[in-house]
Structure 1
Amino acid sequence: MSINEMGFEVFEEMLDLADDLRVDVIELENGAVVIDAGVKAPGGLWAGIFISRICMADLADIQIVPYGLKGISVPGIQVTTDHPAISCMGSQCAMWQIKVDKYFAMGSGPARALARKTKDLYERIGFDEYSDVGAIVLEASRIPDAAVAARIAEMCGIEPSDLRIAVAPTDSVAGMVQVSARIVETGMHKLFTMGFDITKIKSGWGVAPIAPVAGDATMCMGASNDAIIYGGDTYYTIEYENLEELKDYVRKMPSSASRDYGVPFYSAFKAAGFDFFKVDHNIFAPARVVMNELISRTTIVSGRLNHDVLMESFGIQVL
């Protein structure tokens, strides 16, 4: 099966469980089907799991697990995949800015591969996708209309009636879940931006807390990023012959390598005038990385968890 067919099947599961997942199903005039998991519908943790499965083309095991935060148990998310390059970078990574008239969303999921967003990534991992159906997840505050769906379908080379769209804003429970589910992908992306051959990575595991919904959308965006930046633990297996070179990469991987490390992301974002281009992008990385190199049978570790910043970012009040 193609990754879009796999994501499409997860979407069909969501349709069958719509009432239990507390999501709304909307069929647009051109036949495209939309699931609202947090714009007007309440959604929830379970809906967030399904959205995360779509994002990763169902090539990962994704579970809600307890996460210990300074003696407090909060929900966390655990992600395990033996197809990290395709599931994380080929599908999940939010590299598609969708702009149609006044509508804007960040697009993730298998449909990105049909639209070849971005082309150089797919060339570097040697992946091609062919499918008559498409599945995409939008991080947006509004439900897309038929014009948006038609544009996405056109870029994917499919009919709008064969397109499935799941939507959740950042400041929703499902939205917070799907961001934390990017824990393995965030480390993969950091390596990719450093020019590393990510096809060398054979498997990935990660766990991160799920940020609570607190404050406005921008504050929630900051807290959801902090869940990974300060609370994200990752473990990768890899085959890489030059161990010293690998150590240099791993040393630079964690968020602590960034000049903006040490304060909640919202604070760094505000100091940058809310301009993403002025934020040090090295901050977008897991808090800690463990790398098991299979040829030398050596395991190396870099980075650290920082629960003090997480408590501040999450706005947790202990009475």
Structure 2
Amino acid sequence: MTTSHISVNRGAAPLIDRLVERADALRIGVAHGSAGERLIDCGARIEGSLEAGRLLSEICLAGLGSVQIGASSGLARYPFGVEVRTSQPVLACLASQYAGWQLSHGEGSDAYFAMGSGPARALAGREAIFEDISYHDEGEAAALVLETGSPPPPALIRRIGAECGVEPGNLTVLYAPTQSLAGTVQIVARVVEVALHKAHEMGFELTDIVEGIGTAPLPAPHPDFITAMGRTNDAVIYGGRVLLHVRGSAAAAAELAANLPSSTCKDYGRPFAEIFRAYKGDFYQIDPTLFSPAEVCVVALETGAVFRGGGIDPTLIDASFG
């Protein structure tokens, strides 16, 4: 990629500063852990806010995309949604936002597990995706985003710092559980990211994806984890809409539009919480192709041809959102 000079961690830094400066107004907590790391609680032991979630989503995108909340969902009963735009979709979504870093420590009742997203991933470079997109970040500071209700233990913090090549004092960990206001926003704001990830799995040439726009309805948070997880996933699977501008042949663009929507998956057709329970809570038994937008529009830049696939499903959104 020709954009390797862009640093995702440096791009996220000013957004984190803005978040910290407005901590009281955004109802978030800022503290330092025993290893010296900065911990930003966006909705675990503190209430958080939708605006904190919006900024958290832009931090996940490393400042390479914008996230807005407005009346853009296309659903009459749930008109408010999250809109994401990026002119660097591969770096923003796959080098930063994608939750691809498995973090774990301890065993049994003391075990800690979380999936890491955000720009710190590009410093550690532990995932195969970074070889596929030929990107690695360099820098002295790192930002890690976790969808969880608690920060990593000190031993894991030190390991994260070592793998990123930064001192723990230069590591910022931002976290919010799925059930929170901020957590809800940042998960739904992955509507373009899931499209990029599925395109990658389909073998589409990622460097040909030059623009990404997506929107998905904003569900109400729920205190039950499975219900909250179901709503946020359904927002994308049954209510997400994505527009991609791509280089290359019209035939490749047409194939992408036809195969990218979630409706091509065998598990499509039930609220996600119901699917999750049917697989007895084993997330990895669910067909991964389900995690994609409901509706896709692909523009082939070389010909101006427009290809569409899928469609939003208001009935399943109603069944999920309550």
Gaps of at least 5 residues in structure 1 are none
1:250 maps to: 257
TM-score (norm 1): 0.95
Contact 1:187 1:253 in 2 (8 A): yes
Q: Distance in 2 between matches of 1:58 and 1:313?
A: 31
Q: Deviations over 1:108-162 (max 9, x none)?
A: 10000001131x3222222121111001111112133322321211110110000
Q: Deviations over 1:37-74 (max 9, x none)?
A: 11101001000011101100010011111145653344
Measured after TM superposition, the shift of residue 244 of structure 1 is 2.1
Q: Deviations over 1:65-103 (max 9, x none)?
A: 114565334431111100000000110000011112211
Q: Does 1:312 align with 2:314?
A: no
Q: Does 1:284 align with 2:291?
A: yes
Q: Deviations over 1:232-265 (max 9, x none)?
A: 0100100012x22332232111000011111101
Aligned partner (choices 283, 300, 315) of residue 293 of structure 1:
300
Q: Does 1:185 align with 2:190?
A: no
1:135 maps to: 143
Contact 1:39 1:143 in 2 (8 A): no
1:270 maps to: 277
1:19 maps to: 24
Secondary structure of the corresponding residue to residue 72 of structure 1: coil
Superposition map of 1:46-195 within 5 A: 46-67=51-72, 70-101=75-106, 102-118=111-127, 120-195=128-203
Gaps of at least 5 residues in structure 2 are 1-5
Q: Distance in 2 between matches of 1:191 and 1:70?
A: 26
Between 79-88 and 143-152, the greater mean CA deviation after superposition = 143-152
Q: Structure 1 residues 70, 50: CA separation in 2 closer, same or farther (over 3 Å shift)?
A: closer
Contact 1:100 1:151 in 2 (8 A): no
Measured after TM superposition, the shift of residue 212 of structure 1 is 1.0
Q: Distance in 1 between matches of 2:19 and 2:96?
A: 19
Q: Structure 1 residues 69, 84: CA separation in 2 closer, same or farther (over 3 Å shift)?
A: closer
Q: Does 1:235 align with 2:243?
A: yes
Q: Deviations over 1:195-237 (max 9, x none)?
A: 2211110000001112211251112111100000000010010
RMSD: 1.4
Secondary structure of the corresponding residue to residue 184 of structure 2: helix
1:210 maps to: 218
Aligned partner (choices 38, 48, 52) of residue 43 of structure 1:
48
Contact 2:75 2:217 in 1 (8 A): no
Q: Identity over aligned residues, as a percent? A: 37
Q: Distance in 1 between matches of 2:33 and 2:222?
A: 32
